[in-house]
Structure 1
Amino acid sequence: MKGPDEVLLAHGGGGELSYQLIKELLLPTFDNPVLKELDDAARLYLKSKRLAFSTDSYVVKPLFFPGGDIGKLAVCGTINDLAMVGAEPLYMSVSLIIEEGFSLNTLKKVIKSMERVARQTGVQIVTGDTKVVERGSLDRLFINTAGIGSIDGDLDISGGNARVGDRIILSGTVGDHGIAVLSQREGFQFESNLLSDCAPLNNLVSRMTKESKNIHVLRDPTRGGVVTALN
């Protein structure tokens, strides 16, 4: 991108710099026909009559941690929320709230990270928004994502289906993400290399539900971890 090397208030003002940010960074990175229209709302085409819709906001410190970053976390988080009800993620929105003075090179890295996950999972980022707030008003960068997915067949996966005696199956070890972020933030040293297990789970869920019709509850333990998810 030509021009300043950090985010200015004008980047969120709707004028020339806003257009430059969209045209030179966001459009080329999240390239798809729906987004290119730049309408106030994305027009979508859906075959399924059963849809899932989810939204979440992401704040993490540091922005980059072993195994991921805030961009990867934001896209994976919404994809996984949709997957937890058996939905195939299709479309996403991305809204960025950026602190004045934030490095444009760092923003590019975050955006590229989001695009990699979206491409890997076949999700299209079709709409979004960018706001810039005064220096000191927030901690560098906040991201909000929302997603729409389709639920095929007669899948009925919901926390309301939980019953006494259900068998609980974990897809991996517990606490990897939290410890990876904490170790990076606080400078803790461990003998082994800690990596966040932040990853999209939609393909895993799709394979699971095809193999077994007994799956009736899914949870992606984020804040609060497994204990909170089980309670």
Structure 2
Amino acid sequence: MKVEIGHGSGGKLTRELIENLFLKYFSFPELTSLQDASYLEINSRKIAMTTDSYVVRPYFFPGGDIGKLSISGTINDLTVSGAVPEFISVGFILEEGLAFSDLEKIVKSMADTAKKAGIKIAAGDTKVVEKGKCDGLYVNTTGIGKVVKPLSPKFAKPGDLVIVTGFIGDHGIAISLAREEFEVETGVLSDCAPLNSLLVPLLDIEGLRWMRDPTRGGLATVLIEFSEISGLGVKLYEEKIPVREEVRFVCDMLGYDPLYLANEGKAVVIVDKKDAEVILEKLRSHALGKNAEIIGEVTDEINDVRLITSIGGERRLELLEEDPLPRIC
């Protein structure tokens, strides 16, 4: 057996890799939640910690670049875990021959994104490999933040509502078209953005149960994982899910399902029904959440995520074997 590209997709193969190999040896209690960040306690201070690596191809794309993506993704993983991001470390693996001008653009993008989000880059490392041994550059980040409100799928209850903070699928389509594999022009930009200014104000709301940024595997995969951990079901309404017409067009043409496309500037929010309108109002008052919508509800069906289609049919959503678009983040 060998590692396949699908092992990094966030789907079934990723799950098998984590459960059958990594957790076999990394059996630490801090990892058991398998969420975007782990909760730690140091000298009575509760913090959240996350780490990620970025291998997106190409590393410049409409709406962002690997630098902005790495800082935004780390901030978002902390924020959806109920923490206020404070510090980030960055590690670079650079390929011999990489243009200094490209590297400077990426480093500047990282600095600008961190400054805008109000966090500090506090540590770093650089390695260089021979030409042909790395696709230009890869970036690794680790983030630390102060926990304000621990969140978990296990806090959810039947009747809770599901909110998405805006249009889905933009990042996946922007990356796909940036690879110039298809002669299509749509003007779709990646939604890559730090979400702490949008989501941290929600942490004061009692009825907030759980949040997640639907990156690899998209909206469907995130909600399937939510269902498996919580033991509850989810019912989604297709007509309520915001998808740009340009994204629908490309998906129809290339056979993609927008529910499984990566996003880098959106969040899924599970909330008590009584607080849903308050949260929706807060989201829509922010530029990054102006297209937020209530798209479904939590049910008492065990491990069942269903899409109610626009024509009234039902489709059960399953984990994909692998992502149709590798190297997306």
The answer, yes or no, to whether TM exceeds 0.5 is: yes
Q: List aligned pairs for 1:148-167, cutoff 5 A.
A: 148-152=144-148, 155-167=149-161
Q: List aligned pairs for 1:14-53, cutoff 5 A.
A: 49-53=45-49
Which residue number corresponds to residue 143 of structure 2?
A: 147
**3-state SS of paired residue (1:136):** coil
Identity %: 50
Change (3 A) 1:137 1:162: farther
Pair 1:87 & 2:83 matched: yes
**3-state SS of paired residue (1:217):** strand
1:167-221, Cα deviation, whole Å (9 max, x unpaired): 11000111000000101113545564101111001111112223x2211110001
Q: Distance in 1 between matches of 2:223 and 2:127?
A: 36
RMSD: 1.8
Which residue number corresponds to residue 215 of structure 1?
A: 208
Q: Distance in 2 between matches of 1:88 and 1:164?
A: 28
Pair 1:120 & 2:113 matched: no
Which residue number corresponds to residue 22 of structure 1?
A: none
Q: What stretches of structure 2 of length at least 5 have no aligned partner?
A: 1-41, 225-329
The correspondence for 1:178, drawn from 169, 172, 182, is: 172
TM-score (norm 2): 0.53
Q: What stretches of structure 1 of length at least 5 have no aligned partner?
A: 1-45
TM-score (norm 1): 0.75
Q: Distance in 1 between matches of 2:133 and 2:155?
A: 42
Which residue number corresponds to residue 227 of structure 1?
A: 220
The correspondence for 2:98, drawn from 87, 96, 102, is: 102
Which residue number corresponds to residue 287 of structure 2?
A: none
**3-state SS of paired residue (1:79):** helix
Q: State the structure with bigger RCO (CA 8 A, min sep 6), 1 or 2.
A: 1
**3-state SS of paired residue (1:169):** strand
Q: Which amino acid aligns with 1:200?
A: P
Q: Distance in 2 between matches of 1:175 and 1:48?
A: 40
Larger relative strand fraction: 2
Q: Which amino acid aligns with 2:45?
A: K
Q: Distance in 2 between matches of 1:187 and 1:61?
A: 12
Per the TM alignment, residue 121 of structure 1 is displaced from its structure 2 partner at its CA by 1.0
Q: Distance in 2 between matches of 1:166 and 1:188?
A: 41
Q: List aligned pairs for 1:181-220, cutoff 5 A.
A: 181-188=175-182, 190=184, 192-210=186-204, 212-220=205-213
Which residue number corresponds to residue 61 of structure 1?
A: 57
Count of equivalent residues: 183
